[in-house]
Amino acid sequence: MPPPTTTPILLLLHGSGTNADIFRLQSRKLAALLSPHFTLLYLDAPHVCDPGPGVLPFFEGCGPYLTWMDDSTPEKEHDYWAGEQIGRLVGEVRRKGVVGVVGFSMGGKVGMEVVRRLEAEDGEGGCQGGVKIVVAVCGTVPFQGGVDKQGGEDEVKGVRYRESLAKGVVKAQSVHLIGEGDPWRAESEKLVEFFGEEGRRVVRFRGEHHMPVEDALNRQVVRMILAACGGV
């Protein structure tokens, strides 16, 4: 008998204050279009936290609610980027042979950093044979882009943000889905800077901080993922 066929793996990273099971529901429209072409890998973040924005009351009792990091202060966020947990996630992505990453909200900046580190490990050639595309949906950015919650400049966050950006841009293709009414839209716009100009595409949609529900937009995203991955 011929060996069983396997489909390429896409990694899906949830936002803060949810979990992998909740994200399966939040991303169900996109997932339904992707599943004929890819194996979808949902991972849980490592830390327990309060429910995220918009999670309650619909996902009441669906905890534990999880987060990738404590980014309430630049010092605490720096601990995550400098710690072992992000390294373990990078190693898991490499071992599983992930070809693409879809990250929502905080999952967007985590996905960016995972791919950037993979590319750095692989040298000038980038992540050859590895991650081809990052899709950041309403993504937030390292150190909130150097601003505080009121939108003013924060000196410490600004220094950390510039240090992170100076580490280089992601070479893989990227798609940035930015909600026009998203309270964190400014962060999504700044996350774009962490990706190479030639390979990035920005798509703004009518919506707030959520996965897009419009069928046409989800089909467009799937086409871009398939194109980046060679049609699979």
d(CA 73, CA 75): 5
Would you say residue 128 has pLDDT above 60?
A: no
Q: Average pLDDT for residues 210-217, to the nearest whole number? A: 95
Which of 1-5, 14-18, 216-220 is predicted least confidently?
Answer: 1-5
Task: Give just the sign of the alpha carbon dihedral 48, 53, 55, 58.
Answer: positive
CB 25 within 8 A of CB 75: no
What is the percentage of the chain residues whose pLDDT exceeds 90?
Answer: 89
Would you say residue 129 has pLDDT above 90?
A: no
Check residue 127 and give its pLDDT. 46
What's the pLDDT band for 3 if we cut at 50, 70, 90? very low
- Mean pLDDT of all residues belonging to the chain: 93
Measured in degrees and rounded to the nearest 5, phi and psi for residue 217 equal -70, -45
Q: What is the pLDDT of residues 179-213, one digit of tens each?
A: 999 999 999 999 999 999 999 999 999 999 999 99
Rg (CA), the chain: 17
* Class of residue 155 by CB neighbours under 10 A (exposed 0-12, middle 13-18, buried 19+): exposed
CB 172 within 8 A of CB 225: no
Check residue 167 and give its pLDDT. 96
Would you say residue 230 has pLDDT above 80?
A: yes
SS3 (DSSP) at 227: helix
CB 203 within 8 A of CB 163: no
Check residue 124 and give its pLDDT. 56
Check residue 153 and give its pLDDT. 86
What is the percentage of the chain residues whose pLDDT exceeds 70?
Answer: 94
pTM score of the predicted model: 0.94
Q: What is the pLDDT of residues 25-76, one digit of tens each?
A: 999 999 999 999 999 999 999 999 999 998 999 999 999 999 999 999 999 9
Q: At 118, which helix (H) or strand (E)? A: helix 106-121
Q: How far apart are the first and last CA of the chain?
A: 23
Would you say residue 125 has pLDDT above 80?
A: no
Q: Could you tell me the CA-to-CA distances from 174 to 24, 25, 58, 122, 196 in Å, in that order? A: 21, 23, 31, 19, 8
What's the pLDDT band for 232 if we cut at 50, 70, 90? low
Q: Domains in the chain, ordered, with CATH? A: 9-145+155-228 (3.40.50.1820)
Q: Residue 92: CB partners within 8 Å, gap ≥ 6?
A: 43
Q: Mind giving me the DSSP string for 37-84?
A: T-EEEEE--SEE----TTTTTTTTT----EES---SSHHHHHHHHHSH
Check residue 214 and give its pLDDT. 95
CB 177 within 8 A of CB 201: no
